[in-house]
Amino acid sequence: MTSQVHVPTQTEDSSAGTPPEGGPVEGDLIRSEPLHDDKPVRRLDRVVIRFAGDSGDGMQLTGDRFTSETAGFGNDLSTLPNFPAEIRAPAGTLPGVSSFQLHFADHDILTPGDAPDVLVAMNPAALKANLGDVPRGAQVIVNTDEFTKRALAKVGYTADPVTDGSLEAYAVHPVPLTTLTVEALKDSGLARKDAERAKNMFALGLLSWLYHRPTEGTERFLRSKFAKRPEIAEANVAAFRAGWNYGETTEDFAVSYEVAPATAAFAPGRYRNISGNLALAYGLVAAAKQSGLPLFLGSYPITPASDILHELSKHKNFGVRTFQAEDEIAGIGAALGAAFGGSLGVTTTSGPGVALKSETIGLAVSLELPLLVVDIQRGGPSTGMPTKTEQADLLQAMYGRNGEAPVPIVAPATAGECFTAALEAARIALTYRTPVFLLSDGYLANGSSPGASPSRRSCPTCARSSRPSPTGRTGSSGPTCATRRRWRGRGRCPARPAWSTGSAGSRSRTASAASPTTRPTTSTWSVSARPRSTASPCPTWRSRTRAAGPGCWCWAGARPSGRSAPPCAGSGPPEAGSPRPTCGISTPSRPTSAGCWPATTGWWCRR
């Protein structure tokens, strides 16, 4: 969801200064005016809403849609998804409660908030699990259809808290969400069980009316999400509209609320609501494009870092290669090998994985190879708690390696900053040829906030090193992570340019060749990673002739010995079965493409 922010002129209703962070109270009434004939509107500066229910009640989807519409409206926001570690805990139990908290305001905010001003509880377990965080006077919307004796007994209630007076300190709104949803969908043709699943959309419609959120985007989203099942899409849209109409017509909600766009918090531009992991993935792709290197991600799935692997696997069109390894050590080993071969190597993990990767990180420091280690922190020692957050890996990132192996550390402060943090980490890694830690955490990874849509001009260009050329001149010789292997040739070949690793199996010229009349005693080459497939990695045929003789053949795989330097050979490729050039060590087979044919340890290529 994107939104365009403009700077309006100051009006009488514009608040002077930025209000302090804290829950809105009745005294925060800025303006009261009737939106409809009989319902006034109260204008607030900030609101914290928490949706809570069972893992199967769709609270994450509900919160995500409310967040998207809030971002499109122009509010500053911060979110806190919270779901249980179990794949699916028993329905109606405290361990199975899933919640989504959203803090939005008309000014700059930095946190998802501590105390919710509105709690939407879909069952007794959600009420009991979250009531302790709700301040006195806050609004509590409960789905009374789920407050049965059996459901109350599951969580330890001896009486219905909605009717026994235990919630007198709160503004309670008992709403039969399930019954109203089924009634709204009675003509949809769905079974009752299927119709009940749309009660989260009814709750979303009610809250959208209560805080004047746009509705068109949610309806488009539902029709797109359930495009293959149009009857389900229309049922959800109908439930969403029914919730909106219920809020507009019921007397239980006598007042609606309005939170103005945060125009003073943002510079003019285009913004989008983005989660931390998504911003990190986009930042890594942008870093690879800005550096001119292919991106390689070697990763073992681990919560809460797996979303980066999922997202990057969708972007092969940008030259991204993802590798799901069998364990953490294999993941970083593959990433380090990719860095050695000329790619931008990245590995993602969480705290337990960092402990396993420490030896390879030390190796990257020793080899001076650029490598990005993305640590999405989670709580607890040992294997930890996958869905709980704790910023506890800083000391491990700083000192968790044997010997002296210092590593730079980059850490974003918000979900929107994850994009620029990825660019900065890549810039440091490529400029100074070192592994770099990028520390995020579960709150940033799963939460979201507005982020400015960057332009390519605003992204920094990752540095390229300046290294001596084969002729002794100083100039750019390709990306800093290009691997260079040098060997001394003793033949009578004309001078060759340096070749830098551009992509796997390809070579690009980065320095001009010396005069063809010279006969240097040293040839400098850069050998790229050996390709996995049988397709020829050799460059296009290039005619190399001298006044005194034809071109030369050289070995492009294993390093030749001192006595087998590349000699001058015939002007064309040897026929299949003919003697190999003396600079190689393997017997070639029939050519697989013009000018190149595979050997047991490498490729014969014409240079």
Q: What is the pLDDT of residues 210-245, one digit of tens each?
A: 999 999 999 999 999 999 999 999 999 999 999 999
Higher pLDDT, 334 or 56: 334
Q: What is the pTM of this model?
A: 0.67
Higher pLDDT, 383 or 174: 174
Split at pLDDT 50, 70, 90, the class of 110 is: confident
Cα-flanking dihedrals φ and ψ of residue 271, to 5°?
A: -125, 160
**pLDDT tens sequence across 324-382:** 999 999 999 999 999 999 999 999 999 999 999 999 999 999 999 999 999 999 988 88
**DSSP-assigned letter for residue 556:** S
- Calculate what percentage of the chain has a pLDDT beyond 70: 68
Q: Are 75 and 263 spatial neighbours (Cβ–Cβ below 8 Å)?
A: no
| Averaged pLDDT score across all residues of the chain | 76
CA distances from 356 to 332, 346, 379, 406, 429 (A): 9, 16, 17, 17, 21
Nearest-angstrom CA–CA distance, 164 and 143: 16
Number of helical H runs and strand E runs in the chain = 15, 27
CA distances from 486 to 240, 286, 483, 556, 559 (A): 67, 32, 10, 12, 9
SS3 66: helix
pLDDT at 458: 66
Q: Are 556 and 505 spatial neighbours (Cβ–Cβ below 8 Å)?
A: no
Alpha helices in 43-198 (DSSP H): 59-73, 124-130, 149-154, 177-184, 192-196
- Provide, for the chain, the percentages of residues in helix, strand and coil under a 3-state DSSP scheme, each rounded to the nearest 5: 30, 20, 50
CA distances from 291 to 143, 428, 477, 591 (A): 53, 12, 13, 35
**pLDDT tens sequence across 508-563:** 333 333 333 333 332 223 333 333 333 333 333 333 333 333 333 333 433 344 44
Nearest-angstrom CA–CA distance, 491 and 493: 6
Residue 606 has pLDDT above 80, yes or no: no
SS3 118: strand
Higher pLDDT, 142 or 380: 142
DSSP per residue, 377-420: E-BSSTT-BTT------HHHHHH-SSSS----EE--SSTTTHHH
Split at pLDDT 50, 70, 90, the class of 388 is: confident
Other C-beta atoms closer than 10 Å to the C-beta of 454 total: 16
**pLDDT tens sequence across 464-517:** 443 333 333 333 333 333 333 332 333 333 333 333 333 333 333 333 333 333
Per-residue pLDDT, averaged over 176-199, amounts to 94
Nearest-angstrom CA–CA distance, 115 and 135: 6
